[in-house]
Structure 1
Amino acid sequence: MYGPIQQEDAFLVGLYLRDSPNREYWEDGRRVSVCDQRIGESCLHDLRRVPTARYDKPYHTLAFYLPRAALDAIADNANAPRIRDLRYEPGAGVNDLTISGLGSLLRPALSHPDQANPLFVDHVLLAVGVHVAQTYGGMRPMSRPARGGLTPWQERRAREILQANIKHGVALKEVARECGLSVGSFSHAFRRTLGVAPHKWLTEQRVELSKEKLRNDGLSLSCRIPQ
């Protein structure tokens, strides 16, 4: 038996990582479905409706948690009306290739969190939220003037923070906050200014740092070799 989950204004998106046959599902205390969940399928849950499921076999899922505040922030950043509800069939699995693809990108990071790049994880989670908002919430951005990149002080501050955390990484929201921007606005402005996403830029800096270290180590070695 799985649930009930605490009631709150939020959604869960479950990605099934193994088959779950004959799963019974309830919302608001009423059984609404009995169906087979297949590996790679996704299922949406409105936590305001107290979703509950019964499993008679082991199951394995990856769950994305989307609180109302996150969906509001996504809509605000897209200059779109805020989302009231998500459209889904209770308990039914959907073959959403975007969610399964994004989930596969996250699984290595979850298996080895000490090696995960926080900026990359933030980008994937943001992509999941935007996809859900558009596909199941009907979010459609309104027209707006094209936005520019980072101001000189924002670019300088972003570089400082990223370079200071070049070994272990830093959460995207922390860099965005230091620049006075939302995560989405910062990501867009950073890419427009520097030509790549923040996590990609940080990876490139790590590569350059490694190359510089190799060059310096090689020079030190050559200096020690007798002529």
Structure 2
Amino acid sequence: MASPWISQITTDEFTVTRTHQQNPDKDHVFDVPCLDSFSIIIQLEDFADHRLWRGGRLAYSGGHKKASASLPFMGDGLRCQHRAAYDNVRFNIPRATFDDFQLENGMKRFDRFVYDQGGQDNTLYHLARALLPILNQSSASNQLFLDHIFLATCDHVYRRYVRGASNSIAEKCKLTSKQVLLAKDIIAAHLAGDLPVQAIATECALSRSHFSRAFKQSTGMAPHAWLMQMRFEKAQELMLSQPFKPISSIAQECGFSDQSHLTRVFTRLLGIPPATWRRQHESSVFLLGRASLQND
């Protein structure tokens, strides 16, 4: 029996873990740590056979389809038995974190999520998959991105799985032109840093959730996507203005984890790696410079 493959991200507000095991011990029943937290589990692939006990009683026996979600409270005395290969992403969010989120957004407090064991949730599935590059340690994370995933997850599970919560789409809201400029200036000043949403929201005198929704309504992009776009544009600028500066140094200066990360972003956005783009545009800049000198 091979040990499970595990990768994890831990922040001040939540922990997210990917666990994959091809050949689990089908007879092993294990106790889930008893915590005042909620677990949000999303299956990345079909999970053929699983058993769950709650408070000493068998609560579920069966399979889980790909994209199915479970949201147990971890203080319920849970025990599990994995009887087939599985691959899942699990958010662990303390109750205190949810309490703060609800207070921040004027939502009522809840004790349990109400859900169908094995029911599919494509929204949670796509949020979980968005974290895979970071969990696989093949890409850099940034705090704005993690905040975006956290806020989107909390908002979705509250509206869908809390009895009596409103399922209506949040009221559309936009930032003022002054707030947009302020937010963009703050992001631009922290290209190489790790900036939390809270820092920008505070300057705009808004809650994190309100700011994130309003920023996207105003710009068409989430704050973390805007940050990545600015990093990309700054890298383009430096590659042309400093033609002998190594791309690895430019990547670091612009906030990318390394040259490979910058290369992946360039290739995704433009279809070519940064070195190729630089060679193509250096020749254009040289020709434009010669033409300018001839006209003087």
Q: TM-score, normalised by structure 2?
A: 0.62
Name which of 222, 225, 229 aligns with 1:197: 222
Query: 1:148/1:19 Cα in 2 relative to 1: closer, same or farther (>3 Å)?
Result: closer
Q: Which residue identity is paired with 1:7?
A: L
Corresponding position of 2:30: 2
Cα deviation 1:41-96 (Å, max 9, x = unaligned): 2112111212211124443321012222333333334433233321124xx21111
1:163 has 2:163 as partner: no
Query: 1:27/1:150 Cα in 2 relative to 1: closer, same or farther (>3 Å)?
Result: farther
Structure 1 residue 104: Cα displacement? 1.4
How far apart, CA to CA, are the structure 2 residues paired with 1:77 and 1:111?
Answer: 32
How far apart, CA to CA, are the structure 2 residues paired with 1:72 and 1:151?
Answer: 32
How many pairs were matched up?
Answer: 220
Q: Which residue identity is paired with 2:109?
A: R
**Aligned 1:84-99 pairs, distance under 5 A:** 84-89=111-116, 92-99=117-124
What 5-or-longer segments of structure 1 have no aligned partner?
none
Rg (Cα) greater in structure: 2
Structure 1 residue 17: Cα displacement? 2.7
1:172 has 2:197 as partner: yes
Q: Secondary structure at the match of 1:127?
A: helix
What is the alpha-carbon root mean square deviation over aligned residues? Answer: 3.4
Name which of 139, 145, 150 aligns with 1:125: 150
Query: 1:59/1:147 Cα in 2 relative to 1: closer, same or farther (>3 Å)?
Result: closer
What 5-or-longer segments of structure 2 have no aligned partner?
1-28, 244-281
Residues 40 and 70 in structure 2, CA contact (< 8 A), matched pair in contact too: yes
Query: 1:17/1:146 Cα in 2 relative to 1: closer, same or farther (>3 Å)?
Result: closer
Aligned-residue sequence identity (percent) comes to 25
Name which of 53, 56, 59 aligns with 1:26: 53
How far apart, CA to CA, are the structure 2 residues paired with 1:130 and 1:81?
Answer: 13
How far apart, CA to CA, are the structure 2 residues paired with 1:110 and 1:123?
Answer: 16
How far apart, CA to CA, are the structure 2 residues paired with 1:207 and 1:13?
Answer: 33
Residues 86 and 137 in structure 1, CA contact (< 8 A), matched pair in contact too: yes
Cα deviation 1:189-226 (Å, max 9, x = unaligned): 4345555321122122123212322331349x848xxx
1:46 has 2:52 as partner: no
**Aligned 1:33-72 pairs, distance under 5 A:** 33-72=60-99
1:16 has 2:7 as partner: no
Asked which structure has the greater RCO (Cα within 8 Å, sep 6+), the reply is 1
Structure 1 residue 106: Cα displacement? 1.4
How far apart, CA to CA, are the structure 2 residues paired with 1:119 and 1:86?
Answer: 27
Query: 1:113/1:11 Cα in 2 relative to 1: closer, same or farther (>3 Å)?
Result: farther
How far apart, CA to CA, are the structure 2 residues paired with 1:107 and 1:132?
Answer: 20
How far apart, CA to CA, are the structure 2 residues paired with 1:54 and 1:145?
Answer: 43
Query: 1:147/1:79 Cα in 2 relative to 1: closer, same or farther (>3 Å)?
Result: farther
Corresponding position of 2:269: none
